[in-house]
Structure 1
Amino acid sequence: MDVPAPPPSTDTPLPRAIVRGAAGALWGVALLPAVLFAVLAAPVHPATTVARWTARRLSWIDGAPRESLPRGGRLFGMHAVMLLLGVLNLCVLALLVIGVVSVAQVVTAAATGSGVSVFDAPPGRVTWSTVAVFALPGIVMLFLAASGIGGILWLERRAWSSFARPGAEQLEREITRLSSTLDDVVAAVDGERRRIERDIHDGVQQRVVALSILLARVERAEDAAARDDLLRRGVAETRLVLEDLRAVAWRTYPAMLARDGLLAALEALRDRTPLPIRLDAEVSGARHPAAETAAYFVASEAVTNAIKHGECSIIEIWVRDDGDELTIAVLDDGIGGADASGPGLTGIASRVRAQGGRLQVDSPVGGPTRIEAVLPCA
């Protein structure tokens, strides 16, 4: 079973982080009424909805997925803390707005030569020297306000992590899922082993038996011409044995897949297939060996089924890789009726589930057939 991958990096370029931080702070202030309502209505369903909104906002800011939600008393506690932080955020933003408005008034007054009134005091004339004197304190205040917003966002993320810890029920579901995944891995390995045994028994073994019979006839042949003919046939049979062995090795795990990646392996599959295959693939530069291996075998099994049972005239393989998920779909224009419970499709379904993906088979009687797998790249 694959070792779980480390959590995805949440590093964000500085300009984007600043924009998302500011927008996230405004988003948090806009959610204040909903959070207040959630605190008052924590026992009912809307509180969970507001928690989802909060999770979506925090995930948008830092890019980290937040799938588990606080439950029970933790839900109330999380909303109470978020309400407090939201009020604090509102105060910081209000001070920032007041500062920006004040700066705009002072700069405008300096540019036009007019005065600026402070509370009830008479308007005083503002010069560019006055603006220069107060520029440094203004920059410091702007930095402190930005730090305050960043600190509040950090506190919000920490609060979410504390209150959204998985409970016993969620851990039990995760253990059940992992146990099911382990069963799928074992089933996929057993199915692969049986398929290899069947390929060797039905193909290579028959060729080797035929070759041994030819060699035995060579030993018994007394006529030189007959012996030479049998030897030529034996050499030809040896080549066929080698071709069958290469085919079995290719179906087990094509070396090109590990060396050159999924696209090259699919192109080789297309070239080896007697039917025309239209390949439409857009893949990222990053390599995802586990996902690519599962995707290749989905394509290989779907193409094999289409040739053997589909009575189709053309096959299309469609691949998209966005860096997070690898999607592969195989379509054919055959008669349909593919049995998802058959050994071949069951085997690739187990392989896909073992990678944490999902497989969909759509094959109505009369066609067409579409087999699609979505595999996580992490």
Structure 2
Amino acid sequence: MTHPARVGAGVAAGVLTAAGDLAFLLAAAVAATGSVLVPPARRRVGALIPQYATALVRLERRRLAELLGANELPPIRTAGWRDVTYLAARLLPGALGALAYLLLAIGAVLAWILLSATVRGDLSVAEFLLQVVIGTVLLMLNVQAIGSVGALDVRIARWLLDQGARAALEDRVRELASTRAGVIAAVDAERQRIERDLHDGLQQRLVALGMLLGRARRSQDTERTYALVKQAHEDVQRALEELREVAWRVYPSALEESDLGQVLGMVAQRSTVPVRIRCDLPVRPDRQIETVLYFVACEALTNAAKHAAANLVTIDIEPREGTIRMRVRDDGTGGADPSGRGLSGLARRVAALDGQLRVDSPAGGPTTVLAELPCA
């Protein structure tokens, strides 16, 4: 239960902030009316009003939390016109609080007059005691009124701001449904990619290997047979490398024993483009986060080697304000398409973990792939 003194301070502060809210609403009304006459400014004013309203709502929320005990209000996600509605509704408890404190001030003045009259002897003891009883009752009613204003203030905040939380929850449910569909699509696309790699690469190599061994078995020339077997052995080695590459695209098993920086170092050793890696993570993140970052880095490396004609790729991984940020930058020709199959699939993987993937690849380069994932 909040201390009565804190409630009184919260209501008094609410009177002052309500005056500021009123000034803002009047200024916003004037600006909105004026923007009707100036169409180019209409969109700008329409964006600024909710933005400043949200800043005032943050101030009100801090007052409600610190002085009136309303700590359970949902966090603000985006600026919106609902905040303007809340500021307008807040004028009612602000006006009632001002009235309550005005009556309290009047009561204090009357008490001083009564005390002065008693000291001068203008009032008898009986009359003085009667006035004290009446004043005490009025004071208790006034204190109760201040408490009721504080409760009304909190109730309005919960009613309007919690509606915003429900709307945000509905948006979150829709986002998760869309993300789930995107993950399913990404998994299907990855399966098609694996099937294509096996069919176009490894399967054809194994067919060629079978034909090569068949020729070696039918050959009557010892030297030719040796040469064919030697070539078959080399093809087996290449097939194993391709199979290992396909397996790593499915899941990087090296993450079970090594951290992300070490695994990316292994990838860099097999890359045809020089890679510079800086991994500054004091604590290993969750396996799923490492896996997603691994796939983002590998896709960026593949694009840099195949399409961008890059000479150097830099990978920087660092923690930043509750997130892990990975930036992959190459000095290639640019022009990467974020809506392509590879990058769009990665964006869905990142979104599935509530992260963000941004691709900046102007014509002529450089290309920067930035992935941010939440991490405790």
* Same fold, judged at TM 0.5 (above): yes
Query: CA offset at residue 76 of structure 1?
Result: 6.9
**Residues 78 and 312 of structure 1: CA distance in aligned 2, closer, same or farther (over 3 Å):** same
SS at match of 2:358: strand
Distance 1:290 1:82 in 2: 49
TM-score by length of 1: 0.63
Distance 2:243 2:287 in 1: 24
Question: Does 1:50 find its partner at 2:56?
Answer: yes
TM-score by length of 2: 0.63
Report the residue type matching 2:187 in the other structure: V
SS at match of 1:260: coil
Query: CA offset at residue 75 of structure 1?
Result: 3.9
1:34 is matched with 17
2:224 is matched with 226
Conservation of the 8 A alpha-carbon contact between 1:68 and 1:164: no
SS at match of 1:366: coil
Question: Does 1:67 find its partner at 2:76?
Answer: yes
Listed as ranges, the gaps of 5+ residues in structure 1 are: 1-25, 88-155
1:177 is matched with 175
CA shift digits 1:335-357 (9 cap, x unpaired): 11112222221221222222222
Query: CA offset at residue 289 of structure 1?
Result: 2.2
Conservation of the 8 A alpha-carbon contact between 2:325 and 2:372: yes
Conservation of the 8 A alpha-carbon contact between 1:47 and 1:75: no
Distance 1:286 1:185 in 2: 24
Conservation of the 8 A alpha-carbon contact between 2:268 and 2:275: yes
**Residues 282 and 72 of structure 1: CA distance in aligned 2, closer, same or farther (over 3 Å):** closer
Report the residue type matching 1:66 in the other structure: P
Distance 1:272 1:58 in 2: 58
Distance 1:232 1:193 in 2: 34
Query: CA offset at residue 213 of structure 1?
Result: 0.7
Q: CA RMSD in A?
A: 4.3
- 179, 199, 208: which one aligns with 1:210: 208
- 162, 165, 168: which one aligns with 2:162: 165
1:92 is matched with none
- 273, 293, 308: which one aligns with 1:275: 273
1:372 is matched with 370
Conservation of the 8 A alpha-carbon contact between 1:277 and 1:315: yes
Distance 1:82 1:305 in 2: 60
SS at match of 1:200: helix
Query: CA offset at residue 49 of structure 1?
Result: 3.7
- 301, 304, 327: which one aligns with 2:302: 304
1:321 is matched with 319
Conservation of the 8 A alpha-carbon contact between 2:74 and 2:162: no
Distance 1:38 1:190 in 2: 53
Distance 2:59 2:157 in 1: 12
Query: CA offset at residue 83 of structure 1?
Result: 7.3
Distance 2:85 2:186 in 1: 40
Conservation of the 8 A alpha-carbon contact between 1:75 and 1:163: yes
Distance 2:160 2:328 in 1: 43
Conservation of the 8 A alpha-carbon contact between 2:355 and 2:371: yes
Report the residue type matching 2:59 in the other structure: W
2:358 is matched with 360
Distance 2:170 2:92 in 1: 28
Conservation of the 8 A alpha-carbon contact between 2:57 and 2:87: no
Distance 1:259 1:78 in 2: 58
Distance 1:205 1:270 in 2: 26
**Residues 38 and 273 of structure 1: CA distance in aligned 2, closer, same or farther (over 3 Å):** same
Distance 1:282 1:29 in 2: 49
For these two proteins, the number of residue pairs brought into alignment is 290
**Residues 301 and 56 of structure 1: CA distance in aligned 2, closer, same or farther (over 3 Å):** farther
SS at match of 1:165: helix
Distance 1:287 1:58 in 2: 36
1:247 is matched with 245
Whose helix proportion is higher, 1 or 2? 2
**Residues 29 and 210 of structure 1: CA distance in aligned 2, closer, same or farther (over 3 Å):** farther
Query: CA offset at residue 233 of structure 1?
Result: 2.4
Conservation of the 8 A alpha-carbon contact between 1:286 and 1:323: no
SS at match of 2:162: coil
Distance 1:220 1:357 in 2: 58
2:235 is matched with 237
* Map 1:117-196 → 2, pairs under 5 A: 164-166=161-163, 169-196=167-194
Report the residue type matching 2:57 in the other structure: A
Report the residue type matching 2:75 in the other structure: R
In our comparison, the structure showing a higher alpha carbon Rg is: 2
CA shift digits 1:33-65 (9 cap, x unpaired): 215654998998676543223446789999997
CA shift digits 1:166-208 (9 cap, x unpaired): 4554343222211211121112111211221122122211221
Deviates more, 1:305-314 or 1:45-54: 45-54
Deviates more, 1:313-322 or 1:252-261: 252-261
Distance 2:65 2:201 in 1: 54
Conservation of the 8 A alpha-carbon contact between 1:68 and 1:166: no
